[in-house]
């Protein structure tokens, strides 16, 4: 099993990268959250990895944090959930947000993940609730703006204003770091627009 990969970043596109490890180029699929954390092409990079094996394909997936990889692996244990859907989930939400919505039974919020309808969201809640409840995702999740209804409303508003999902999440994470006490959607939006 390849647990971690480090080397020079040769190429990067929003969901695919190539890492040169001693003159061998490894292609990895990554969530948008990991893509945003990457250095410029030519920079050094180290990622947690998961090797997905099918009868006809070996595919490496790369993650900026151990939490992303943990949630990815847990999601793959659900029948009908493949790597593409798990990657889409991590591109839409941070690991702590996925855990929070699954353990609280919020299937409706999970339908925001591309490719997830109502039935799939309900199955995710049923099959993942106990597994995710046992996982400690502490240490890599920001506090403040990523939590609560105010943040969800602010995220939707920023997207309506033309931000990409990843860009809106990044702006709200920055607000959370700089203003941890802010919780209302209006204030989160104002600070995100001012500081972003």
The DSSP bridge partners found for residue 59 are 52
| pLDDT exceeds cutoff 80 at 159 | no
Q: What is the pLDDT of residue 148?
A: 52
Q: What is the pLDDT of residue 185?
A: 77
Over residues 162-179, the mean pLDDT reads 80
| pLDDT exceeds cutoff 80 at 63 | yes
Q: What's the CATH fold of domain 148-195?
A: Helicase, Ruva Protein; domain 3 (1.10.8)
Check if the beta carbon of residue 80 is closer than 8 Å to that of residue 120.
yes
| pLDDT exceeds cutoff 60 at 144 | no
pTM of the model: 0.67
| pLDDT exceeds cutoff 70 at 145 | no
| pLDDT exceeds cutoff 70 at 143 | no
Please name which of 149, 158, 147 lies closest in space to residue 100, comparing C-alpha atoms: 147
Over residues 160-187, the mean pLDDT reads 78
The CATH code belonging to domain 67-133 is 1.10.150.20
| pLDDT exceeds cutoff 60 at 140 | no
Q: What is the C-alpha to C-alpha distance for residues 57 and 77, in angstroms, rounded to an integer?
A: 18
Q: Which CATH number fits domain 4-63: 2.40.50.140, 3.50.50.60, 3.40.605.10, 3.30.70.360?
A: 2.40.50.140
Alpha helix ranges (H) inside 134-184: 148-160, 165-178
The model's confidence at residue 110, banded by pLDDT at 50, 70 and 90, is: confident
């Amino acid at each position: 099993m390849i647990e971690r990969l480090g080397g020079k970043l040769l190429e990067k596109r929003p969901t695919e990268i190539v890492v040169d490890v001693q003159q061998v180029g490894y292609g990895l699929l990554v969530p948008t959250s990991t893509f945003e954390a990457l250095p410029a092409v030519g920079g050094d990079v180290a990622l947690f990895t998961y090797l997905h094996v099918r009868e006809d394909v070996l595919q490496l997936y790369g993650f900026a944090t151990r939490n992303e990889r943990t949630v990815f692996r847990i999601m793959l244990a659900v029948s009908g959930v493949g790597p593409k859907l798990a990657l889409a989930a991590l591109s839409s939400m941070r690991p702590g947000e996925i855990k929070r919505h699954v353990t609280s039974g919020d299937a409706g919020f999970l339908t925001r993940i591309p490719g997830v309808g109502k039935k799939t969201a309900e199955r995710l809640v049923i099959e993942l609730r106990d597994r995710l409840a046992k996982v400690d995702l502490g240490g890599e999740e920001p506090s403040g703006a990523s939590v609560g209804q105010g943040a969800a409303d602010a995220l939707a508003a920023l997207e309506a204003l033309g931000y990409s999902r990843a860009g809106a999440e990044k702006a709200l994470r920055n607000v959370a770091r700089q203003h941890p006490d802010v919780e209302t959607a209006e204030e989160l939006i104002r600070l995100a627009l001012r500081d972003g």
